Chain A
Amino acid sequence: NAGVTQTPKFQVLKTGQSMTLQCAQDMNHEYMSWYRQDPGMGLRLIHYSVGAGITDQGEVPNGYNVSRSTTEDFPLRLLSAAPSQTSVYFCASSLYSGFYGYTFGSGTRLTVV
């Protein structure tokens, strides 16, 4: 089925390790975003992209990097994992600037020990 694919589904990291969360969509959506979801905090925007080659910071960007070399892929990199980055991460994409709604992936549950 078409949609947003995130890998891996689960990941455990040690403090200080780095890793990349993968996100791919096959709907030719221009807008893509990364959110983290924490209990009591809701979903918060980490980084977003309005098209290939264009990225910008969201509400909680520290400790994360993104790049957008193609329309389809929008990976999220954790540079040096910290326990505070333990969370569930969601990638989302939208056709028209998010105005009519986003399609979300099924998430990556990350634990940093």
Chain B
Amino acid sequence: TQLLEQSPQFLSIQEGENLTVYCNSSSVFSSLQWYRQEPGEGPVLLVTVVTGGEVKKLKRLTFQFGDARKDSSLHITAAQPGDTGLYLCAGVTYGGGSQGNLIFGKGTKLSVKP
């Protein structure tokens, strides 16, 4: 069974602080995706990383895919209250009949206080 361990589960910080969310697995994924979900809504795709060692930036958010394609991190610089939400990592399964399906971490609930 493929699992994605996401940490921390909860994070409460002040506006302007930096933070990092981690996503780890013993399995190799063909790609890894990060989603953000707000209450009452579905997850919204932030970024997809596909190459080992890849780094992508989206404004104040930096995403990294591990060299072995088993782990990823999301770093937010100078967090703002608008960053509040549930952040989910999801790995795309590699090969076999279920290729293309997502394995989700349990999420990191981020609260940024003004």
Which A residues lie at the B interface, using CB under 8 A? 4, 31, 33, 35, 40-45, 48, 50, 56, 58, 90, 92, 94, 97-107
Contacts and interface: CB of A to CB of B under 8 A. Distances in A.
Contacts, number: 67
A94 B40 CA distance: 21
Interface of B: 30-31, 33, 35, 40-45, 48, 50, 88, 90, 92, 97-102, 104-107
Nearest to B50: A99
Contacts of A102: 33, 45, 102
B42 A106 contact: yes
User: Which of B30, B42, B104 is packed against the most chain A CB atoms within 10 Å?
Assistant: B42
Given A45-B102, A100-B31, A100-B48, A56 B40 contact: no
Q: Report whether over half of chain B's contact residues are helix, strand or loop; otherwise say mixed.
A: loop
B104 A56 contact: no
Contacts of A41: 106
